[in-house]
Amino acid sequence: MGVTLTADGQAGTPPTAPSRWPQIVRGLLTFVRVALGGVWIYAGMVKITDINQTTITIRAFEIVPHSLVKPMSYGLPAAEIALGLMLVVGLAVRWMAAVSAVFLLLYIGAIASASARGLRIDCGCFSQGGQLDASTSTRYTLDILRDSGLLLLSALLIWRPRTYWSLDGWLRMPSADADDDLDAEDADADEDGPGNT
């Protein structure tokens, strides 16, 4: 019964029937938020600390025009780190989760297109990327699966951006002693909006 409560956030049940589920879900989502942020920071740091390799990787995908490869090899990891930090501090969580999802969709698309064009590269998402030689398997399926998992986590945060220990939560505090877990989700959307700008 508690499960159905969280599933559709607008159950009009009065707080007289308290359920632990919302708190548990919120706790898990807190973990998801921080973990996803950490993953982005890590991915960005790996790329930026080996900038030459990142350049080679981006070039190996043969998607970005030559003149944009260099700027992108700095810009992409920088954006990833910023996104990760925003998620960790919990600012504009729903927006950041959406950005995260868009990034992941682009990455999945890039990997899929590389695969479809028969390019043989290491996606370089977390490791040294670049061109692979014929004898090494490409791991495209694995890479796409991993990115899809992260995409799912991002989707969860878009669905429920409210988590513990977030700056968003702190911003909501004074006006809302209604820091109530049973709030309709629409309210979240309204409140998270301004945080983005």
Partner 1 sequence: MTNARTTRERAAAMRQQEQAKAKRRQKLVVAGVIGGIALVVVAIVLIVIFAGGSSKKTGPIALPAGVSGNSGPIVVGTGPAKLDVYEDFQCPSCGAFHKASGPTIAELQSSGKVTTNYHLVSFLGPESVRAANAAGCAQDQGKFMPFSNYLYDHQPAEHTGGYTSDDLIRSGEAVGITNPAFNQCVTSMKYQDWVTNVNSAAFDNGTITGTPTVFVNGKKIDNLTSENIKQAVNSAG
Q: Annotate each residue in 3-42 with x if it binds partner 1 (CB under 8 A) or - if it does not, as one string.
A: ----------------------------------------
20 three-class SS: coil
User: Applying CB under 8 A, does 110 fall inside the site for partner 1?
Assistant: no
User: Applying CB under 8 A, does 59 fall inside the site for partner 1?
Assistant: yes
131 three-class SS: strand
The C-alpha atoms of residue 180 and residue 182 are separated, in whole angstroms, by: 5
Closest distance to partner 1 from the beta carbon of 110 (Å): 15
Length of the chain in terms of residues written? 197
Structure tokens at 29: 């989502």
User: Applying CB under 8 A, does 136 fall inside the site for partner 1?
Assistant: yes
User: Stretches 17-25, 75-83, 95-103, 148-156: which one binds partner 1 (CB under 8 A)?
Assistant: 75-83
DSSP secondary structure, 31-55, as one string: HHHHHHHHHHHHHHHHHHHTHHHHH
Q: CB-based burial of residue 164 (10 Å sphere; 0-12 exposed, 13-18 middle, 19+ buried)? A: middle
The one-letter amino acid code at 6 reads T
The C-alpha atoms of residue 181 and residue 194 are separated, in whole angstroms, by: 21
Which positions from 150 through 179 interact with partner 1, judged by CB under 8 A? 167, 171, 174-175
Closest distance to partner 1 from the beta carbon of 155 (Å): 23
Structure tokens at 52: 């030459």
User: Applying CB under 8 A, does 137 fall inside the site for partner 1?
Assistant: no
Residues within the interface to partner 1 (CB under 8 A): 48-49, 51-53, 55-56, 59-60, 62, 66, 74, 78, 81-82, 85-86, 89, 91, 120, 128, 130-136, 167, 171, 174-175, 195
